[in-house]
Amino acid sequence: MSTENHLGLPEEVFEIILQRLDLEDVISCSSVCVGWRNAVNSNRIWEALCEKHVPQQRLKAQTKCKKILTSYEVRDTDNFSPICSWRQKYLDDVTLKRNWRNGCFLEDTIGDVIIPLHDFETDYEVLLEPSMARSSFTVYKIEDSPIMTDIIHFALQQPIPEFFKLSNNVLVVVQCTLLQVYVKDENKDLKLKLVALFDEDHLDATTIPDTPDLSNWYSNHVGLFPCDIYVRCDHNGEYFVGMFNEDTDFTRSSLHIWDLAGLTKIGEVTFPRVRSQETILDISFSLHHNVVHIILKLLFVDHGTPTNAVYSYDLDVCRYIGNVIRVKYVIPIILFTKTLACMTDAIGKKIFFFELANGNLLGTQETDSSIDYRTLQVFDDLLTFVEYNHGSDYFTKVTVYDLNQFSVKDKFQVPNCKSIHSIHIVMKDMMIIGTSMVLLIRDLKNGVILRSLHFMDFFPPDLSCSKMIAQKPEGELVLLHFW
């Protein structure tokens, strides 16, 4: 039979009530008396709070670095012995946030690597470095200590692959039209699982040989090696999408869709027919949440007005969805959320927001100066971009735009900054800004710079926010451990 508390309620009912309270109210309840304090120390209550406030990726994170006791360490003031496991997870997340805000981390040097960060791919279990000189890529197993390396050679011995991306434990390499799929095993080692021509349904009598170097075979049977063809690809660990253009007018172009779990080709997606008075100048696409957004750059034959047409193809149901979005003039970049398409005008001084479902224009945002397209990014429901002022009073202006409210959430200047390499929003209320000299950590809620770190560039943190790769001014790469 369940016990009762001072309210005369059964313990189970009292616990259900506590599960519906916010954090501040739960803490207040724990201060009422010893009985209430013990009732609050319940896994079910703190699991509910974690589900509200802590992303799943951070709950699952297990950092391997040794913790350092600092003045910022969060302590439990209720003096439970012991506190429940879910309350400990909540406290660990609070500690992680505070250490981010206060710049508390451990550094781990990644070998002797001194090359630009944009040449790498990483998921924070491995770091991949394509090597042009050796027609190979180096695998750094960054979970090991010391960091271990391995060399894997490309199937085609040519300097640069057309596509190289690691996502969700799957590495896809495309050289010419040769698709190579590597999948991590239980030891986090990348194993080659598929070699195929991504634009072919089958190879008929021609079989791809099982040999480390396919250069001669490819040259003899496909005839496009060394590669100088027009190839565009993307993948998300579940699907691979590739396009190989055979004609300058794109009349025979199509998207080739592969199932990366089953390592089989699903089929081809033909592009929508354009109007009789239009010709296709270019085709690009973006893979977002298993939806391929296809962007056709069109030209009216009669009066030469360029137009962009955006179509959405759902890979899960294998059909086009929503309405087409048509925008006149040249659009340098288009970003997508689950519901929106965000694009700039030709000079980068105006941003348009279209609804994907019906193609309607929902709003616009004008800027004071031209946008740096490298910094135009979407993070959930936030859009970020950077403007430069090249006058005598040199500065860069960073804007964070709320896509739910269609309003500016934060705008600030970074004085004496000639270049911003990259920006990233972490934990929804902090921004990392990579400048030409230092990394800045900004609190988006309070609008202040929290910390300046002596690094010049970075990879976005892993999903748990416990690790980040940064580059020192002298070029050395380091792994930053937060906890």
User: Which residue has better confidence, 18 or 318?
Assistant: 318
Q: Which helix (H) or strand (E) holds 278?
A: strand 278-288
The H helix count followed by the E strand count for the chain is 7, 32
Residue with token string 């100066």: 369
Whether 243 contacts 177, CB under 8 Å: no
Query: CA-CA distance, 115 to 121, in Å (whole number)?
Result: 13
Query: CA-CA distance, 371 to 347, in Å (whole number)?
Result: 8
Length of the chain in terms of residues written: 483
Asked if pLDDT for residue 67 goes beyond 50, the answer is no
Per-residue pLDDT averaged across 60-82, rounded? 50
Q: How confident is the model at residue 229 (pLDDT cuts 50, 70, 90)?
A: confident
Query: CA-CA distance, 206 to 185, in Å (whole number)?
Result: 30
Is the bond into 272 cis (omega within 30 degrees of 0)?
A: no
Q: Where are the domains of the chain?
A: 11-102
Of the candidate ranges 78-87, 166-175, 324-333, 377-386, the one whose mean pLDDT is the lowest: 78-87
Residues 6+ apart with CB under 8 A from 297: 280, 281, 282, 283, 284, 306, 307, 308, 330
Highest mean pLDDT range out of 19-28, 166-175, 340-349, 409-418? 166-175
Per-residue pLDDT averaged across 7-36, rounded? 72
User: Which residue has better confidence, 319 or 18?
Assistant: 319
- The token duo for 240 is 């691979």
93: nearest Cα among 44, 39, 51: 51
Res 248: pLDDT: 66
Whether 179 contacts 168, CB under 8 Å: no
Q: How confident is the model at residue 62 (pLDDT cuts 50, 70, 90)?
A: low
Give the chain's largest Cα–Cα span.
85
Q: How confident is the model at residue 303 (pLDDT cuts 50, 70, 90)?
A: low
- The token duo for 367 is 């800027």
Question: What residue spans of 175-286 are helical by DSSP H?
Answer: 215-221
**Strand locations in 301-438, DSSP E?**
306-314, 319-328, 334-336, 340-344, 350-355, 361-366, 371-379, 382-389, 395-402, 407-415, 420-426, 430-435
DSSP 368-400: SS-EEEEEEEEETTEEEEEEEE-SSS-EEEEEE
Q: How confident is the model at residue 424 (pLDDT cuts 50, 70, 90)?
A: very high
Residues 6+ apart with CB under 8 A from 119: 129, 130
Q: How confident is the model at residue 12 (pLDDT cuts 50, 70, 90)?
A: confident
Asked if pLDDT for residue 337 goes beyond 80, the answer is yes
Taking only the tens place, the pLDDT of each residue in 425-459 is 998 889 999 887 889 999 998 999 998 999 988 99
Per-residue pLDDT averaged across 93-104, rounded? 87
Please give the order of strands across the beta sheet that includes 467-471: 106-109, 477-481, 467-471, 457-458
- pTM exceeds 0.95, yes or no: no
Taking only the tens place, the pLDDT of each residue in 374-418 is 788 999 889 999 987 666 556 688 999 999 999 999 999 887 777
Query: CA-CA distance, 238 to 369, in Å (whole number)?
Result: 39
Rounded to 5 degrees, φ, ψ at 37 are -60, -45
Find out if CATH 2.40.390 is the number for domain 11-102.
no
Q: Between helices 85-102 and 43-53, what is the axis angle to 10°?
A: 30
Res 205: pLDDT: 44
Per-residue pLDDT averaged across 117-136, rounded? 84
Q: Measured in Å, how far apart are the chain's first and last C-alpha atoms?
A: 42
* Cα torsion angle, 476, 186, 164, 336, sign: negative
343: nearest Cα among 302, 385, 398, 395: 385
Residue 476 CA neighbour count, 13 Å, CB half: 11
